[in-house]
Amino acid sequence: MLDIRRAQIALIFFGLLIPTLGCDWLRRYRDLSDQCLLKLQALGGPITNEEFPLHFPSKLYWRAEKSQGVCQWMFIRDSLGHILDLYKGVNSSQVGWDANNLEQLLVLLHRQKYELNACIPATETGCCWVRAVKRYYTRMSNATLNGTEGTNAQWELIRGETKMHLFRLQLLVNSAQ
């Protein structure tokens, strides 16, 4: 009976401690983000500088920068998740991208999202801009892909915009530390 109590206390202690230890990954975020940027670059040729048909959500990033801790983490996690979801739909052979680099990019994005999720308490309900982030990425997809699998030119536009988002997320993580 006493051993069961100790085990329960240990589980509770580690349950409280693990999310705190999981946030240690923020120190490694730059390395993971840099790897994502390298894989994004390696998908195809040079990333286009063509203007994206949707305005960049600078206000959302500004609000996230002004927030504290968990809200920033949720913004980063949700943004990474939406980017991941967007790239899951690409047909690399149709677009002409390297399938291995695409798979590695997806793995890196998933890893970042998963590890960051460990920093967010399960009881956290969300910040006011979570829906706005989702709406932006939905509009981003609609503005370029229009419900199709997309052409090479459309995916190149998304790749250029993704690069900007990954840079801004790096800046946000740097400001959170």
Domain holding 68: CATH number?
1.20.1250.10
Statement: residue 9 has pLDDT above 60: no
Residue given tokens 């979801």 in the structure block: 85
* E strands present in 18-145: none
- The burial of 54, by beta-carbon neighbours within 10 Å (0-12 exposed, 13-18 middle, 19 or more buried), is given as middle
Higher-confidence residue of 35 and 94: namely 35
Report yes or no: 47 and 41 within 8 Å, Cβ to Cβ. yes
Position 25 scores a pLDDT of 67
The mean pLDDT value of the chain amounts to 82
Position 23 scores a pLDDT of 66
Which segment of 48-57, 84-93, 144-153 scores lowest on mean pLDDT?
144-153
Round to whole Å and give the CA distance between 134 and 138: 6
Statement: residue 130 has pLDDT above 60: yes
pTM above 0.85, yes or no: no
Which residue segment(s) compose the domain that 145 sits in?
2-176
Could you give the number of structural domains in the chain?
1
Position 147 scores a pLDDT of 65
